[in-house]
Amino acid sequence: MDDTSPNRPCLCTTLPDLAVVRMGWDGLDERIFATIDVVCHHGGNQWWLHLDRCNACGQHWMVAQEERIYDDYYLRRLGPEAAREITDEGRWPDEFITYERVLRIGRTLSGAYTYLDPLSPALIDTVRDLRLARPDINVLEIADLLGIPPGNAARLLSALS
């Protein structure tokens, strides 16, 4: 049976409550998302955040899609009540609500890419978003979140000026 066949069982039971799934590495992301559909996007400034549901087992997942620095999906298993609060009341759990929190999870559970261009647009856009969300974020915090040397973080901040 093909991994993307609609009759293929889901992988939900094989995932921990907080799963890190690399984008495009070994096809695991494709196998997991073969049965998981987006229910709703958070929208607004939280472009990375959506609620998904497995069409095979009914499991809900809060998903943060981080494609700039870590190239990961972060999936948080949700119970029916938490999913209902999102769909009916627009109340999202705090875990992925800021991009800084998403990057912190990536820094803890994954590994940042090494950019050949220290002024890559992805890095600049991420620093811009971090500064907009929290103007007092400092060079050392940015360097840590992005997995880069502080000198590179300082150059990125200068590029925003």
Which of 84, 109, 134 is the last residue in one of the domains?
109
> CB count, 10 Å around CB of 87?
13
Residue 7 is assigned to a structural domain of this protein: no
Mean pLDDT over 96-105 rounds to: 96
Ranges 39-53, 60-74, 112-126: which has the least confidence = 112-126
Q: Do 99 and 131 fall within a single domain?
A: no
Q: Do 96 and 144 fall within a single domain?
A: no
pLDDT grade, residue 25 (50/70/90)? confident
Residue 6 is assigned to a structural domain of this protein: no
- What's the chain's average pLDDT? 93
pLDDT value at position 8? 64
What predicted TM-score, i.e. pTM, was given to this entire model?
A: 0.89
Mean pLDDT over 114-135 rounds to: 93
Mean pLDDT over 60-75 rounds to: 96
Within a 13 Å sphere around the CA of 131, how many CA atoms are in the beta-carbon half?
Answer: 17
pLDDT value at position 113? 77
pLDDT value at position 5? 47
Check: CB of residue 21 under 8 Å from CB of residue 73: yes
5: exposed, middle or buried (C-beta count within 10 Å: 0-12, 13-18, 19+)? exposed
pLDDT value at position 115? 83
In terms of residue numbers, what domain contains 91? 12-109
pLDDT per residue over 138-159, tens digit each? 999 999 999 999 999 999 999 9
